[in-house]
Amino acid sequence: MKISDGEKLILLMLSELYDNLEIEGEIEPKFIQSAIFSNNLWAIPWKYSGIPFEDQDDPEIVKEVLDILDMWSFIEHSYEQLSAEEKAHVEEAAKPFGKDPKFPGFDGNNESSYMGIASFIVNDLERFEEFKGRNFNSHCPSLDGHGRMLSVFEEIRKNMNFGPLSVDDLTRILKERVHPSNRENA
C-alpha cells in the first residue's frame, strides 16, 4: 500500500481523534498508527480484507518472514507431538539445536527489518499466535540458518499430508541450522 506523507499525517490525526473520542468502529486506530509508525503499510489491506484495496504484491521480505514463521510453527508443533524417546532421538541427532526447538527470532542488530516484521505479524496482525509474547531478537545472525532450513522444509512440505513432521524430517530440518563449515562430515 502506498500512502503519501500527507496521507500518513491525515490517517494519524484521524486515528488519534477516533481514540480520544472513544469511537467504536471497524477500523482500529492503534493498528493504523502502528502500521504507519513501523512502516508496515502492506499490513493494512491484510487486516481489512473487506475493503477493496488495489491489488498489490507483498514485499519479498514479508513473504520470507512468513515462510520462516510457518516453518517454525510446523517445527514446534511437530516436536510437541513426539514421544519422550523420539524427542531424545531428535536432541541427539540434531545437536546442538535438537533439544526443545523454538523459533529463535532474528538478529536485532543486523536483521532488524525481519525482526520487526515478525513481531508485527504476530503481535499486531495476530497471526502465528503461538509466538505471541516472545522476544524476536536472536542476538546473533540467523537468516542464513533459517534459509538453509527453509530449503529442506519446502522440499519435505511438498509431500506432507497435513500431518506433523516425522522425526527424520524434523531432524533433517534442524540439522541445517549448523553452518556447513561447522559440520563433522563437511
User: Tens of pLDDT along 64-80?
Assistant: 999 999 999 999 999 99
186 pLDDT higher than 50: no
CA distances from residue 4 to 10, 48, 52, 79 in whole angstroms, order as listed = 10, 19, 19, 45
What tens digit of pLDDT does each residue of 80-139 get?
999 999 999 999 999 999 999 999 999 999 999 999 999 999 999 999 999 999 999 999
What is the pLDDT confidence band of residue 1, given thresholds at 50, 70 and 90?
confident
* Average pLDDT in the chain: 94
For 71, the grid coordinates are: 516453518
What is the pLDDT confidence band of residue 4, given thresholds at 50, 70 and 90?
very high
pLDDT at 181: 85
**DSSP summary character for residue 95:** T
Q: How many CB atoms lie within 10 A of CB 103?
A: 22
For 93, the grid coordinates are: 541427532
pLDDT at 180: 87
pTM: 0.92
Query: Count of alpha carbons within 13 Å of 19, Cβ hemisphere only?
Result: 12
How far is residue 68's CA from residue 60's CA, in Å, rounded to a whole number?
12
pLDDT at 83: 97
The more confident residue out of 167 and 56 is 167
The third-level CATH classification (topology) of the domain covering 60-182 is yfbu gene product, domain 2 (1.10.3190)
For 68, the grid coordinates are: 520462516
* Phi then psi dihedrals of residue 53, to 5 deg: -70, 160
Report the chain's terminal Cα–Cα distance, integer Å: 45
What is the pLDDT confidence band of residue 185, given thresholds at 50, 70 and 90?
low
Read off the pLDDT of each residue in 17-30 and give the average, rounded to a whole number: 93
Residue extent(s) of CATH 1.10.3190.10 domains in the chain:
60-182
Site of grid cell 529442506: 152
37 pLDDT higher than 60: yes
